[in-house]
Structures are given as C-alpha cells and as structure tokens.
Amino acid sequence: MAEFQFACNVRDLRVMQTLKQNLSSGTTRARHDQEEERVCRGLRLEFDGRAIVIFMVGDKDLFAMDQKCYHAGGPLNQGDIEDIDGRLCVRCPWHLHQIALDSGESLYYSVDVRNPRGMKTLCSKGVKQRLHEVRRIGDKLFVQLCLSGEKVDSDYYYSEEFYRQMKC
C-alpha cells in the first residue's frame, strides 16, 4: 500500500461554496434556525499520475476521491457539494450524478411509477468512485492513494485502456 504523502496546506484549498446543513438530522429541509453554514473547499491534485480531489466540509470533514467522475470522466473538483438526506455528496457538473463523499456510492432517488407523487426513496447504485485516505496534521494535509481491492468504475479513467483509446 502507498505511503501517506504531503498533499497541500489547508490554505491552498479553494473555497467552492457554503453549504447549509441541518444540525439535528443532517437534511437541508430544516427550519432556518436549525441550520449551520459550512464552507466547502476543494483542490485537484496529482499523485503518481493519478488525479484526485480533496474536499473539506467545514473545518474537520475531509474526503479524497478520484477526480474523474466514474460516469464519463467529468471533473468532480468543479462539482457542488450537497447534503442529500444527511449524506454529503458531490454533484458532478457534467450529468449531475451524486456521489457520496464517505463511500464513493452513486446515489439517486427512486420513484414509484404507480405513485409518482409519493415519497422518493434514496437508493445506491453501489460504490462507483474510488476513495483515498486523507489526514490533517496541523495545517497540512496528507494523502494515501488506496488502489487495492476490487476495481471500481472510476478506475477506467486511469487505465491503459482509456489512455489507448484517447490516442486513437
């Protein structure tokens, strides 16, 4: 397994947006007085030829994942961070797929076609985006690429097959 490598200083992260998040349930549907505003920051970096993105939500919650979206290679560092039923997700700017920051799952709402006005259910397509480890020590961030285990869909954009096809 790869070692932790210095990634950047916290101040190098780019401010992306402010996320309104409910303190009690984590949803964005709460009354205003229950909401907390958290600054979302992100940065695209490369390690050993692999582009990754680090996200920091508020001062503590850190995530790292492949920067190229599993669906068609979209730039996740340009996505929006959203709270979807209490799950922090990045919404890809290309086709708006939602990827959970803590698991790499692609999430979607399913609708009962017999009752389209009924409750929507949050569902998972499974883990699609590869996550990496990120740690904060003081004002510095360190990343460890996690490339072992089962393949996930985002691996394709870092594969020889993909680079071969790009040359054709």
C-alpha distances (whole Å) from 142 to each of 8, 53, 54 are 7, 12, 10
| 45 or 92: CB nearest ligand FES | 92
Rg (CA), the chain: 17
- We find the least distance from the C-beta atom of residue 83 to ligand FES, in angstroms, to be 19
- Comparing CB distances to ligand FES, the nearer of 45 and 69 is 69
Per-residue binding string, ligand FES, 42-81, x by CB under 6 A, is ---------------------------x-xxxx-------
**Which strands make up the sheet holding 121-127, listed edge to edge?**
80-84, 87-91, 98-100, 105-110, 121-127
Do residues 26 and 67 lie in contact, with contact meaning Cβ atoms separated by under 8 Å? no
Give the x-and-dash track for 105-144 against ligand FES (CB under 6 A).
----------------------------------------
Stretch that binds ligand FES, among 24-32, 42-50, 90-98, 118-126 (CB under 6 A): 90-98
The least CB distance from residue 139 to ligand FES, in Å, is 31
Amino acid at 92: C
Query: Is residue 89 a contact residue for ligand FES (CB under 6 A)?
Result: no
Q: What is the dihedral of CA 50, 56, 60, 62, to 10 degrees?
A: -30
Give phi and psi for 126, each to the nearest 5: 100, 175
Binding site for ligand FES (CB under 6 A): 69, 71-74, 92, 94-95, 97
